[in-house]
Amino acid sequence: MSIKKREHTDWLLKKIFKATGLITIALLAGIFLMLLYNSIAFFADVKPLDFFTGSQWDPESNKSKYGIAPLLVSTGLVTLGAMLIAIPLGIFTAAYLSEFAHPKVKTILKPLIEMLAAIPSVAIGFLGIVLVGPGIAKIFGIANGLNAFNGSVLLAVMALPTIITISEDAINAVPLSHREASLALGANKWQTIFKVTLPAALPGLIAAVMLGLGRALGETMTVLMATGNAAVMPKGFLDAVRTITATIAIEMGEVPYRTTHYFALFAIAVILFIITLIINLLGEYFANRLRKFHA
Amino acid sequence: MEEIKLSAHNLNLFFGKKQILKNVNIDFIKNQVTSLIGPSGCGKSTLLRTFNRMHDLSPEAKIEGTLKLENLNIYDKKNSVTEIRKRIGMVFQKPNPLPKSIYENLSYALKIHNFPKNEIPQLIEKALKESYLWDEVKDEFKKPAVKLSGGQQQRLCIARTVVLRPEVILMDEPCSALDPISTRKIEDLILILKKDYTIVIVTHNMQQAQRISDKVAFMYLGELIEFNTSENIFKQPQKDLTKNYVNGHFG
Amino acid sequence: MIKKIKYFFNWILLLGSTLLVCLILGVILWDIFSKGRSAVSWDFISQFPTNGMTKGGILPAIVGTLLLTFITTIFAVPFGVACAIYLNEYARPSVLTNIIRASIRNLAGIPSIIYGLFGLALFVQALHLGTSVLSAGLTLGLLSLPYIITTTEEALKRIPNSMREATLALGATQFETIKDVVVPKALPGILTGVILTMSRAAGETAPILFTGVAFYINGISASPNQEFMALPYHLYMLSTQHQAIEQVRPLAYGTASVLILLVFILNIIAFYIRFKHRTQE
């Protein structure tokens, strides 16, 4: 091949590679527009006000009701519970790993955390049915343990690896000089960790929590299997709940094509999409702040 | 009559907002060895890398001025960078053999530039002999190049460059990572190679510059301070800065 | 003294958290493998389900998952690697690359069930591929794209510029440099990412729910236009939708064991490649 031909090949391939980059933008836009397009058909049938304020989700009855509130509250409740468990557990573990763990212990623990992350969500959901749910039922003396609390415990387990890994990176990124300065001023190791290291890593810790939160919010199989799937407004953690993701998973398989009900599922999906997008953008914002802070 | 092979005219180079090279004007003469010397950060490596457009890799680099290989404008968009790099070879500070066998390291450039297949073995043999590596590697062509010693790797990198028969060879502190014996071998090699090639070399080592150069250029903070024959630079420097540097009174 | 007790308490808090995380993993694996062990046998993995799923094996689910993972990989890897090459090798930082990177990060955060909806709208309906292993594989391929791009870019970033300069200085074009030096050197890293993607794809359920997975198929077909069985979906059905739910519980445990084992094997291969490669560097 002549040099001209070789340079032409290079030019052509660069364009092709660039096109794949553009495809990622098109994909994100395509997903959003697809959801939006189908939602518009829904809002032609159902008033947006009824959708956002209605307290019942009951598409199957004669007077089908499409209130997203119980689904939103369910999603929020399960996720809140998951975060209450996973945030302290995850950050403490990350602090232990980066500040105390012997390097050898670390080389064992880190793959273990990756193993935890690798377990498929359907297997975690299965354990919610056969192990965690019955346990909860026994402890609280209720008929069955398929409720919001069960979902929270399982989602916490699923969010943990994300929170631990990113928090550990954030803590490791705190410059040694910060800690040395604190120690030199006479602070002990504990004061240094809680008063200097963790606050300095805070933006990164928030980013970690946001990513864990995003993962928990978007999880489908676990909550579908373990939370009882009652589409009514929950009163507490021991009530059965039905999240947005579970609703889509249950109803999309049975709903007739291009009916109001079908479009309704895209409408709740677009809400979920926007919520996770905001969470991700927040996470990114804090991750960037951490980067700038240390640069 | 001395023939100008490579030249830079009114060269300014910026990395982002920082100016690294300031109005550099220099000519390199055919079949001579020219050394670029100066304290760290003076821009000598940066200058060297402008000639084969190695700064194309860094997005923040901006280059102004005219650089020419004979009459060919190096930065003219119409001219092929591939062609220019084929004519201006480069040896780097740290040996960087390709992750391939010794033989493939040498045949690689010949293959991509479509040298006739039946000529490749002779060309490789010639390049290895010129680089004084032939006796050491002739029985182990299939060995991965990274298994060679540092000095051998650097001579392999020189052989890989000369196998293409470039017109100019740029060398960026080629001995800085090597032991004295390997350094000596490479210096001898440079003196032999200059019969066929124009060589520009960056070095930190004053003795080395003295031993191998016809001309020496002293740079300081991005400017070309003094450019003269090796003898003049080391025996009768015109500027105090140069004098201080070549006598070792420099930070 | 009180301070010391406080420190001890703090230390216990951090260590206890770490131990609890390990305990969780231990309990998960112990429960599934101890109860799944009796169900898993050669017959279990080599036979079709019988008697309305209450007996027999899970062969079609294993084959379906492998086929699905294969389709996902051959679709996602070329696209993902090409995009990573563009970002790391060709593109200069610009508004466009910032938008591309932001898109990739946000794609990674989209819930998998939404990919399922998108796959349903795009592949099943708009492109008329129907509910099939092809539609499901393509859907999972889209889901895997951001992950492949990120891991590949990390692998490419680890290649020092001196390697690129070596061939560029010889007059190789950028593509020749990528093809002959950069990608071969980054291959172990890229491969690690690919295998981890396969492991994630094998365990995904939500995106395949509406795009082609089936509760039961009779017969194994390699045709990409057919519906298919998959291990995670099989586990879901056995544990929530089956009429004789208690009777099939051992089969559910067995299915969970096989699924987790498959995922772990892929992860261990990936760890091994990464470990071997890093020690060589």
| Residue B168: its H or E element | strand B168-172
Residues of chain C contacting B161 with CB distance shorter than 8 Å? 169-170
pLDDT at residue B250, as a whole number: 63
Residue of chain B minimizing CA distance to C176: B112
pLDDT at residue A293, as a whole number: 63
- The burial of C82, by beta-carbon neighbours within 10 Å (0-12 exposed, 13-18 middle, 19 or more buried), is given as buried
CB contact under 8 A, B59 and C163: no
CB contact under 8 A, B114 and A7: no
Residue of chain B minimizing CA distance to A1: B114
Name every residue in B having a CB less than 8 A away from some CB of C.
Answer: 52, 54, 57, 59, 82-86, 89-90, 92, 94, 96-99, 108-109, 112-113, 157, 160-161, 164
Residue of chain C minimizing CA distance to A159: C21
Does B251 score more than 80 pLDDT? no
Q: Which sequence spans correspond to the domains of chain C?
A: 2-36, 45-280
B202: β partners:
B36, B172
Tell me if A51 is assigned to some domain.
no
pLDDT at residue B169, as a whole number: 94
Q: Using CB atoms, pick whichever of A25, A123, A281 lies closest to residue C256.
A: A123
Span A161-185, mean pLDDT? Answer: 88
* Average confidence (pLDDT) per 10 residues, chain C, 281 residues: 77 90 95 92 84 80 93 95 95 91 93 95 92 94 96 94 93 94 93 94 93 82 83 92 82 94 94 82 59
Classify domain B4-242 by CATH number. 3.40.50.300
pLDDT at residue A104, as a whole number: 92
pLDDT at residue A295, as a whole number: 54
Q: Assess A61–B contact: CB distance below 8 Å, yes or no.
A: no
Residue carrying structure tokens 């105090």: B240
CB contact under 8 A, B80 and A2: no
DSSP A132: I
Q: Assess A45–B contact: CB distance below 8 Å, yes or no.
A: no
CATH topology for C45-280 is: MetI-like fold (1.10.3720)
pLDDT at residue C204, as a whole number: 94
Size of interface A-C (CB pairs under 8 A): 243
- What pLDDT digit, counting tens, does each position of A264-293 carry? 999 999 999 999 999 999 988 888 887 766
Q: Using CB atoms, pick whichever of C161, C170, C180 lies closest to residue B160.
A: C170
pLDDT at residue A1, as a whole number: 67
pLDDT at residue A210, as a whole number: 94
Residues of chain B contacting C161 with CB distance shorter than 8 Å? 57
Tell me if residue B133 falls in helix, strand or coil: coil
How close, in Å, is residue C163 to chain B by CA atoms? 6
- What pLDDT digit, counting tens, does each position of B70-98 carry? 989 999 888 889 999 999 999 999 999 99
Span A121-150, mean pLDDT? Answer: 92
Q: Where are the beta strands (DSSP E) in chain A?
A: 57-58, 65-66
Residue of chain C minimizing CA distance to A270: C114
Q: Measuring CA to CA, how many Å separate C162 from each of B58, B97, B133, C156, C183?
A: 13, 9, 22, 13, 14
Q: Please, which residues have CB within 8 angstroms of residue A154's CB and are 6 or more apart in sequence?
A: A82, A124, A125, A127, A128, A132, A222, A223, A226
Tell me if A153 is assigned to some domain.
yes
Q: Assess A5–B contact: CB distance below 8 Å, yes or no.
A: no
- Tokens, residue C68: 């699905």
Domain with A75 in it: 57-294
Residues of chain B contacting C169 with CB distance shorter than 8 Å? 52, 54, 85, 89-90, 92, 161
Supply the CATH number for residue A66's domain: 1.10.3720.10
Count CB-CB contacts under 10 A for residue C250: 16
Are A281 and A210 spatial neighbours (Cβ–Cβ below 8 Å)?
no
Tell me if A67 is assigned to some domain.
yes
Residues of chain C contacting B83 with CB distance shorter than 8 Å? 171
- What pLDDT digit, counting tens, does each position of B172-210 carry? 998 887 888 888 888 988 998 888 899 999 998 888 999
Provide the CA B169 distance to its chain's centre, in angstroms: 5
pLDDT at residue B1, as a whole number: 62
**pLDDT confidence band for A61 (50 / 70 / 90):** confident
Cα distance between residue C181 and residue B249, in whole Å:
43
Residues of chain C contacting B52 with CB distance shorter than 8 Å? 169
CB contact under 8 A, B112 and C181: no
How close, in Å, is residue A1 to chain B by CA atoms? 7
Size of interface A-B (CB pairs under 8 A): 12
**pLDDT confidence band for B58 (50 / 70 / 90):** confident
DSSP B54: G
CB contact under 8 A, A14 and C90: yes
Q: What are phi and psi of C193, to 5 degrees?
A: -60, -40
pLDDT at residue C17, as a whole number: 93
DSSP A46: S
- Give the chains touching C; criterion: ≥3 Cβ pairs < 8 Å: A, B
- Tokens, residue B72: 């060919």
Residue carrying structure tokens 């290649």: C159
Please measure the distance between the N-terminal and C-terminal CA atoms of chain A and give it in whole angstroms: 46
**pLDDT confidence band for A187 (50 / 70 / 90):** confident
Please measure the distance between the N-terminal and C-terminal CA atoms of chain B and give it in whole angstroms: 39
Write out residues 43-82 of C within 8 Å (CB-CB) of A: 79, 82
pLDDT at residue A18, as a whole number: 94
Q: Using CB atoms, pick whichever of C166, C171, C180 lies closest to residue B86.
A: C171
Residues of chain B contacting A6 with CB distance shorter than 8 Å? 82, 112
Q: What are phi and psi of A144, to 5 degrees?
A: -145, 160
Residue of chain B minimizing CA distance to A4: B80
Q: Measuring CA to CA, how many Å separate B59 from each of A12, A21, C9, C174, C267?
A: 21, 19, 53, 15, 37
Residues of chain A contacting B114 with CB distance shorter than 8 Å? 1-2
CB contact under 8 A, A4 and B80: yes
Residues of chain B contacting A1 with CB distance shorter than 8 Å? 114
Q: What percent of chain A has pLDDT over 90?
A: 58
For chain A, the domain total comes to 2
How close, in Å, is residue A291 to chain B by CA atoms? 20
Residues A111 and A24 in one domain: no
Residue carrying structure tokens 């027999």: C56
Cα distance between residue C36 and residue C257, in whole Å:
6
Count CB-CB contacts under 10 A for residue C15: 15
pLDDT at residue C224, as a whole number: 81
CB contact under 8 A, B83 and A3: yes
How close, in Å, is residue A51 to chain C by CA atoms? 20
- Give the chains touching B; criterion: ≥3 Cβ pairs < 8 Å: A, C
Provide the CA C105 distance to its chain's centre, in angstroms: 17
Q: Which of C3, C5, C17 is most worth mutating to test chain A (most A CB atoms within 10 A of its CB)?
A: C17
Residues A12 and A73 in one domain: no
In the predicted model, what is the mean pLDDT of chain B? 90
Residues A94 and A218 in one domain: yes
Residue carrying structure tokens 């975690």: A124
Q: Measuring CA to CA, how many Å separate C15 from each of A89, A98, C261?
A: 10, 12, 29
Residues of chain C contacting A22 with CB distance shorter than 8 Å? 100
Between B166 and C218, the more confident residue is B166
Does B11 score more than 90 pLDDT? yes
